[in-house]
């Protein structure tokens, strides 16, 4: 099992230094999120300041840009990093795609499949210097002139990982993707009983094996040197669980544990803006199901115990105000 780290958002100029620190401490991958900030820009600096560690988006919103834009971004970062870039894509949810990105929301699973196939067709055109003739249900690409074609890479094209929660996308992982970014709102039980069986179904359809897909698992971590730090981290994770669980797309994660009705209550509170009431709905049992809690020196061992044989890579995500400090990462890395 490998260890990954997420770059802090909003610290673009620090991305190179932080990525190098992670590499020096033994991280296998550095991931950049797309939330309040662009997810690709920090990775350009990370590529310049590292030599070994993998670099990727976790995840970029698939329907916020044309597949051609993704193809160019990934191609350039892959070349700049010497073949270390992973393009991570996710569908997001309808409200954000329509109202935050002002883009069309339509059959997200099939459209994500189409986007991946289109991106790979563009890469094949560039790598093989062949004609571009991709005609899918949602995307069509039939023009690529030499002036707009980058030089072939000296490595294979980037790998493509996707985020997956529902049945369609979990199966799509197995059928088409090189890896999956599990949602941080998950439990090991949900991975074993619901997510992995669907991925296996997709793998069988594509005649591939489990070794062909990397399972990258971000994990809520509750830690701290003092009781007050630990308490703050726990409440921070409780709020994040409530936020994610209020989105009805993630109801299956709750249903695995028999907590499906909570989805409706949380959604109603979110519509009313009752954020404090949402957090109060999350019991300590739920926090334990969806997060790892341990002292800073024990976090690494706790992660290994919980995910050994299940995840290929874990990406610890501290809760509350406890930042992913150099000291904390060094302590966790000792277990890997």
Query: For position 57, what pLDDT does the model report?
Result: 98
Q: Domains in the chain, start-ordered, CATH in brackets?
A: 2-219+296-333 (3.20.20.30), 224-293 (no CATH)
Question: Which residue has 């109060």 as its token pair?
Answer: 280
Give helix 41-49 / helix 67-80 axis angle, nearest 10°.
20
Please give the pLDDT value at position 317.
86
- Sign of the four-CA dihedral 220, 279, 295, 35: positive
Radius of gyration of the chain, Cα coordinates, nearest whole angstrom = 20
b/e per residue 102-130 (b: at least 16 CB within 10 A): ebebeebbebbbbbbebbbbbbebbbeee
Omega within 30 of 0 (cis) for the link into 59: yes
The CA distance from 226 to 301, in Å, is 19
List the chain residues with pLDDT less than 70: 319-324
Quote the CA–CA distance of 46 and 32 in Å, as a whole number. 10
pLDDT at position 322 is 45
């Amino acid at each position: 099992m490998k260890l990954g780290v997420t770059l802090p958002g909003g610290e673009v100029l620090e991305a190179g230094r932080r990525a190098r620190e992670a590499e020096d401490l033994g991280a296998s991958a550095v991931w950049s999120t797309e939330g309040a900030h662009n997810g690709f820009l920090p990775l350009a600096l990370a590529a310049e300041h590292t030599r070994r560690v993998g670099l990727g988006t976790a995840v970029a919103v698939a329907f916020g840009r044309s597949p051609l834009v993704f193809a160019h971004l990934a191609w350039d970062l892959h070349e700049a990093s010497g073949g270390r870039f992973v393009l991570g894509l996710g569908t997001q949810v309808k409200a954000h795609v329509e109202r935050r990105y002002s883009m069309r929301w339509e059959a997200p699973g099939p459209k994500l499949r189409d986007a991946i196939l289109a991106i790979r067709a563009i890469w094949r055109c560039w790598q093989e210097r062949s004609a571009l003739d991709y005609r899918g249900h949602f995307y069509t690409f039939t023009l690529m002139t030499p002036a707009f074609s980058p030089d072939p890479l000296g490595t294979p094209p980037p790998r493509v990982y996707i985020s997956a929660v529902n049945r369609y996308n979990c199966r799509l992982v197995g059928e088409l993707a090189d890896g999956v970014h599990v949602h941080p709102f998950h439990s090991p039980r949900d991975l074993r009983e619901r997510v992995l069986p669907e991925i296996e179904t997709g793998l069988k359809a594509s005649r591939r094996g489990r070794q062909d897909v990397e399972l990258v698992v971000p994990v809520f971590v509750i830690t701290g040197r003092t009781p007050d730090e630990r308490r703050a981290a726990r409440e921070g994770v409780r709020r994040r669980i409530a936020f994610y669980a209020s989105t009805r797309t993630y109801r299956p994660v709750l249903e695995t544990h028999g907590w499906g009705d909570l989805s409706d209550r949380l959604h109603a509170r979110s519509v009313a803006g009752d954020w404090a009431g949402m957090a109060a709905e999350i019991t300590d049992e739920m926090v334990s199901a969806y997060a790892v809690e341990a002292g800073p020196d024990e976090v690494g061992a706790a992660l290994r115990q919980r995910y050994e044989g299940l995840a290929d890579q874990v990406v610890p995500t501290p809760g509350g105000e406890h930042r992913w400090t150099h000291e904390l990462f060094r302590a966790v890395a000792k277990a890997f």
